[in-house]
Structure 1
Amino acid sequence: MRGFYRARGTGGRSLGEMTIIITGFAASPDRGKGLARDMRVRWALEEAGLAYEVHGLSFAEMKEPAHLARQPFGQIPTYEEGDLILFETGAIVLHIAERHGGLLPEDANARARAIAWMFSAASTIEPLTTDRDVAVYFEKDKPWQAERMMMVQDRIRSRLAQLSRRLGDAEWLDGDFSAGDLMMADVLRRLASSGALDEFPNLVSYVARAEARPAFRRAFAAQLAAFEAGQAG
């Protein structure tokens, strides 16, 4: 495909002899803030210590047949490992976590709870952040936008209050850091610029702890470097 960049991940281990390839944006829509959803996959791979390559796609290439064969909705990221091709960030992160240590607990019950938090991030919290993005960027000229924004913000505040109460003064959602925290923290990162988190200091600290992890920093740096390389090109 045209316009690909190829970036090598900093993870150490390869998966047998197979190369892990993921897709991301060739140019960053968020101007290098690391909010594109391939960040979660990069982060999981870095936590697992796995080497990977990234193919950058333009918006036009995301709608071409070659990519649609991997991702039927024309989005990023995708994950390719030999004959296995996956889409949806939650499914990809779960696949990585189930096959490699460090992202899911050994205890069966704790493992199930961590997976539940992954689903909670994707199904309970993230749809609200998406609603907000739609209202802010695509409905700003609608006469009812202000009223809708109030409703969206109220729903976000309610869910964040529930999450804040559950987290309390704990470091992570359920014991040690897990794929559940990875997914949840990255979803919350998308709200940081809105000020929605400011009412909940423990959630602000929770996100900061996640962003301080060496694996996150490596993933962020790799995504930013790819964006900057695309700008220079």
Structure 2
Amino acid sequence: MTTSAPRPLVTAFEWVPAFAHGLVRDLRVRWALEEIDEPYDTELFNARNPRPEEYLARQPFDQVPAFREGDIDIFETGAILLYLGEQDERLLPKDGQPRWTALSWLFAALNSIEPFLVPITIYDLFHQDKAWMPEAREAALTICRKRLSRLTDALDGKDWLAGQFSIADITMITVLNNLRHTEIVAEYPALVAYKARGEERPAYKRALEAQIADYAQEAA
């Protein structure tokens, strides 16, 4: 008699406010797993309470997601997506320029785009009543628009950043979601279409439904 290996385990929150649905980064990992038809389990934590000490050994910044498969523990979504991409060419080309283009854009999404989008969200959602906010937001918006313009140029008529769909697109599309409460992305029709292509993928829809279903458990 053989025993099957344990399924991958993804940590997530059991509840977040509605404005954060689809923004918590476990969605990126869920999406990747759905793209390769890999069943997984979730371990849910209360976002309003500190995680257990044991969890800090797996995720030293007390965030989600963390990922476990067998005796492998990984934190940070970029690292998790890279791990999954190494296992399946549907997520990451095996070699050549397409592979390195996908990896470059994976890191670009996390380092050259996301840090310049998130401040807009923070200002809008948490600092609207601050006297200094409009000026700070305008400065951040100038940089944000420059980054989005460069991203638009890089797409240059392509459906996906590396030619074929990859973990770079999973990351970039979810990064763009940080601005969904604004009309900023709408200023760039190519990005609107790119984002729509990603969100129309069945795997994205399944991942989002699964994330929200986990939130509904506490609400019930």
Tell me the TM-score range normalised by the shorter chain: over 0.9
Q: Does structure 1 residue 36 correspond to structure 2 residue 38?
A: no
Q: Give structure 1 regions of 4+ aligned residues with deviation exceeding 4 angstroms.
A: none
Q: Is the 8 A contact 1:32 1:223 kept in 2?
A: no
Shift of the 61–100 alpha-carbon distance from structure 1 to 2, 3 Å rule, reads farther
Shift of the 122–219 alpha-carbon distance from structure 1 to 2, 3 Å rule, reads same
Q: Does structure 1 residue 69 correspond to structure 2 residue 43?
A: no
Work out the number of aligned pairs and report it: 217
Q: Is the 8 A contact 2:118 2:178 kept in 1?
A: no
Distance 1:80 1:167 in 2: 33
Q: Is the 8 A contact 2:55 2:62 kept in 1?
A: yes
Distance 2:149 2:27 in 1: 26
- Among candidates 171, 174, 184, match of residue 196 of structure 1: 184
Aligned equivalent of 1:57:
45
1:157 CA displacement: 0.8
Q: Does structure 1 residue 148 correspond to structure 2 residue 136?
A: yes
RMSD across aligned positions (CA) = 1.6
Q: Is the 8 A contact 1:32 1:227 kept in 2?
A: no
Aligned equivalent of 2:113:
125
What is the SS of the residue equivalent to 2:42? Answer: strand
Identical aligned pairs, as a percentage?
39
Q: Which runs of 5+ in 2 are unaligned?
A: none
TM-score by length of 1: 0.88
Q: Is the 8 A contact 1:61 1:67 kept in 2?
A: no
Q: Which runs of 5+ in 1 are unaligned?
A: 1-15
1:111 CA displacement: 0.4
What amino acid is aligned across from residue 207 of structure 1 in structure 2? K
Q: Is the 8 A contact 2:99 2:162 kept in 1?
A: no
Greater shift after overlay, 49-58 or 126-135? 126-135
Q: Deviations over 1:14-35 (max 9, x none)?
A: xx61321110111023457311
Aligned ranges for residues 1-233 of structure 1 at < 5 Å?
Answer: 17-31=5-19, 33-232=21-220
